[in-house]
Homo-oligomer: A and B are copies of this chain.
Amino acid sequence: MGKKVGAEYLGERKYRFRVWSPFAEKVQVILKDSRKVVDMKKDERGYWEAEVNNLSQGTFYKIRLDEEEEYPDPASRSQPEGVHSWSEIPNSSYTFEASGWKGRAIDEMVIYELHVGTFTPQGTFTAIINKLNHLAELGVNTLELMPVSQFPGDRNWGYDGVYPYAPQGSYGGEQGLKELIDTCHQRGFSVLLDVVYNHLGPEGNYLSQFGPYFTDKYHTPWGSALNFDDEYADEVRNFFIQNALMWLEEYRFDGLRLDAVHEIIDRGAKHFLKELSQEVDALEQKTGCRYMLIAESDLNDTRLIRAYRNGGYGLEGQWVDDFHHSLHTILTGEGAGYYKDFGKMEYLAKTFRQAFVYDGIYSTFRKRSVGNSPLCLPKTQFVVSIQNHDQVGNRLLGERLSKLVSFEKQKLAVGMLFTAPYVPMLFMGEEFGETRPFQYFVSHGDKDLVKAVQEGRKKEFEYFHHGKEGGHTDPQAEETFKSSKIDWDYKKDTSKITLFEFYRELLRLRKEGAFRLFASSQVKTEFNEEKKWLRITSEEEGGSLFGLFNFGDEVTSWNPSETSQVEILFASADKK
C-alpha cells in the first residue's frame, strides 16, 4: 500500500501533511490565519511530510515550494475559495449510520447516471436525497454521480476537475457528499462515482509545479498525458490510487466509473488499471465491502475486464458504446461522425448477442480494425445505455432521445435496454422523457480559456454535424446550465407519466427474471435491414423467449410455429 497524500488527521488535533515534489529543495506548509510556516521533510522518493499540532477543521493552508511560490495542496480535500486559493483541512467528523452496508455486485445493478448540478433545482448533494423516493419507485438501485472533484466556478460537467480529492464546494463538499451516500445506503441504493484519471482540467491545475505528473511522451485530447509509465510514474500512480481508495474507504462509495481509460497510457509491465484493481481488492479484504470498478473505454478490449489469470486488469465492468450507437442510428437515421460505423440492423442484432459490434472488424470511421471478442465473458460485465451524458450532451443542441424520435420509438429503445442481458444505465430524466436539453457548460475564470472552449466547441460541431447551422449555445453562459436542469414537474404531461410507468413495468419484469433467457449464449437473432425488424429467440427445455422489435414504419407480423403456445409478456404499444 502506498503513502497517503494531503492532510491526514492523526487524532488529538494533530494533522500530517504529505505532498510529493521530487525536485524541490525545500517545501513548507503555510497556515493562513497564524501565518505559521512549517518545514517539511523529504524521503527518498520525493514525498515531503510534516506533522502539525493544534489544528482544527477549517484551517486554511497552502504549500510553499523552494521558498518562492505558494500553491494549493494537490491532494486538497476542500477548496472553499475556489481552485486558485487556499486549501482547507478536512472534516473527519461524519459518522455513518448505514454501518451494515456491504455493497452490491455489478450483475445486480440498475444504474442511474446523474449530474449533481442539474439533477435538482438546488444542484447539491443534499437535494438528491429528495429524489430517492422517485428513484425507488422507478426501480433503479444504483446512483452514478458525474465527477464531483473541485472544478473552476460552480458550473461544470465535472471533467475539468483539478482537485481530485476535494468534492466540489458548491455541491456541498465533504459533509454533503457523505450524507448523501449514507442516506442512499440506508435506502438500499448503491452509489458510484465517475472519476477522471486521464487528465486534469485546464484551469487551476498546479500539479506540474510540484513534480512530473505529466509526460510529453504521449498526447491526449487534453494535452500532455498523465505520467503512468515514465520516470517517477510510481508516485503519480499512487496519487490516483490513493484517491480511489479514499472515495471507497472514507466516503464509502460502492465503486468507481473510470473515465476514458484509453487515455490512461501505460506501456509498463503492470498496467495502472491492474494495480488499481489489486489495491481495491486489498481494500475489500480490509473492509469486507464489495467495490465495483467500471471503465469507460473506446477500445472494445476485453483485457480491461478479464481476470488477472487471463491477462486482464480485473475490472468488474465496462461501458459498451456500440450498444447505444447501434440503436441510436437505427432509431434516428443519423450517420455523421462515429455514427457512420453503425446504422445496420445486423449490428443491432450483434450488440444484443455479444455487446461489442466491433470485435476485431474494420471500422470505416476509425479507418482501422477495432476490438476483440467478448464472447468468453459474462454479459453482466457490460454496461449499456440508450442515453448518457456524452451521447446527449455532445450534440449540437444537447437533445435527448425524446426530442429526436417518436414516443413509440422511445419505448422500443427502452425495451431493448431492459431486455438485453447487460447492466442497464439510465441518464437522469429519461425515465419520464425529459425534453429539456443536457448541454455542455462551464464557468471558467480564465478569459482566454473561455474563448478557447467556446471556439473549440463550435469547431467540434462543424466536424460532427457538418452541414447543420445555427442553434449553437455558449458553454460559459449561465443560461446554458440552467436550461439543462431537470424539470421535475413532469406529471403535468400524461405521456411522461406513461413513459415512467413503462420504465417501471419493464424494470419490474427484468427484476423478476422475465428476460433472463436472453443472456444465454444460444440466443438467436434474425432481422430485416429494409423493414427494420429484429427478432430475438432464446430456447430452452420447457419454454422459449421471443423478442420482437419493429423499428420500421410498417406494421409487421410474425407467426411462431403452429404448435407453440405464445403468451405476450409485454407489448410496447399497449401502453399509450
Binding site for B on A (CB under 8 A): 217-219, 229-234, 262, 265, 267-270, 299-303, 306, 309-312, 360, 362, 366-372
A206 to chain B, nearest CB (A): 22
Contact, CB under 8 Å: A234 / B368 = yes
Contact, CB under 8 Å: A369 / B270 = yes
**A298, B24: Cα distance in complex, Å:** 30
Contact, CB under 8 Å: A368 / B233 = yes
**A219, B216: Cα distance in complex, Å:** 9
Contact, CB under 8 Å: A300 / B360 = no
B residues less than 8 Å from A302 (CB atoms): 269
CB<8 Å pairs between A and B, sample of 24: A217-B218, A217-B219, A229-B368, A230-B368, A231-B366, A231-B367, A232-B367, A232-B368, A234-B362, A234-B369, A265-B267, A268-B299, A268-B301, A268-B368, A268-B370, A269-B300, A269-B301, A269-B360, A269-B370, A269-B371, A270-B369, A270-B372, A303-B311, A306-B311
**A262, B233: Cα distance in complex, Å:** 17
**A310, B268: Cα distance in complex, Å:** 17
B residues less than 8 Å from A367 (CB atoms): 231-232
Q: Looking across the interface, which residue of chain B has its beta carbon closest to that of A308?
A: B311
Q: Looking across the interface, which residue of chain B has its beta carbon closest to that of A233?
A: B368
**A229, B372: Cα distance in complex, Å:** 14
A212 to chain B, nearest CB (A): 9
Contact, CB under 8 Å: B372 / A269 = yes
Counted per complex, copies of this chain come to 2
- The dominant DSSP class at the A interface is loop
**A231, B367: Cα distance in complex, Å:** 5
A221 to chain B, nearest CB (A): 11
**A231, B364: Cα distance in complex, Å:** 10
A12 to chain B, nearest CB (A): 34
B residues less than 8 Å from A368 (CB atoms): 229-234, 268
Q: Looking across the interface, which residue of chain B has its beta carbon closest to that of A309?
A: B310
A315 to chain B, nearest CB (A): 14
A264 to chain B, nearest CB (A): 10
B residues less than 8 Å from A312 (CB atoms): 311
Q: Looking across the interface, which residue of chain B has its beta carbon closest to that of A265?
A: B267
Q: Looking across the interface, which residue of chain B has its beta carbon closest to that of A217?
A: B219
Q: Looking across the interface, which residue of chain B has its beta carbon closest to that of A231?
A: B367
Q: Looking across the interface, which residue of chain B has its beta carbon closest to that of A262?
A: B267
**A437, B211: Cα distance in complex, Å:** 42
B residues less than 8 Å from A306 (CB atoms): 311
Q: Looking across the interface, which residue of chain B has its beta carbon closest to that of A268?
A: B299
B residues less than 8 Å from A268 (CB atoms): 299, 301, 368-370
Q: Looking across the interface, which residue of chain B has its beta carbon closest to that of A364?
A: B44
**A302, B231: Cα distance in complex, Å:** 21
B residues less than 8 Å from A217 (CB atoms): 218-219
**A477, B362: Cα distance in complex, Å:** 49
Contact, CB under 8 Å: B269 / A299 = yes
B residues less than 8 Å from A360 (CB atoms): 269-270
**A63, B233: Cα distance in complex, Å:** 46
A492 to chain B, nearest CB (A): 47
**A467, B537: Cα distance in complex, Å:** 75
